Amino acid sequence: MSEWIERDVEVINKLGLHARAATRLVQLAAGFDAQICLSQGEQQAEADSVLGILLLQGSQGKTVTVRCQGPDADDAMEAVCNLFAARFDEAE
């Protein structure tokens, strides 16, 4: 089993981790051979669960920890962090 890699990202889009953003994240994660987990405080969620991501209550300005493990872990981490940085492709 490969080791976990971890990075903190800031939620910068205006609406935070709402349903559309969570769906984009789940769709992105499905393209990688990696386990992707997100956490904020005591809450944790797998990146393949829209509901789990919504329960993180990741509002603008909060920090989310992204953890990836598996053959595509590095690529998955880069893609997830880029999605956060691109504000989930939202206007604001």
Q: How many residues does the chain have?
A: 92
Identified catalytic residue from 7, 12, 15, 18: 18
- Outline where 1-92 has alpha helix (H): 19-29, 50-55, 73-85
CA atoms within 13 A on the CB side of 35: 8
Q: What tokens does 19 get?
A: 């349903």
Residue 18: active-site member:
yes
Residues taking part in catalysis: 18
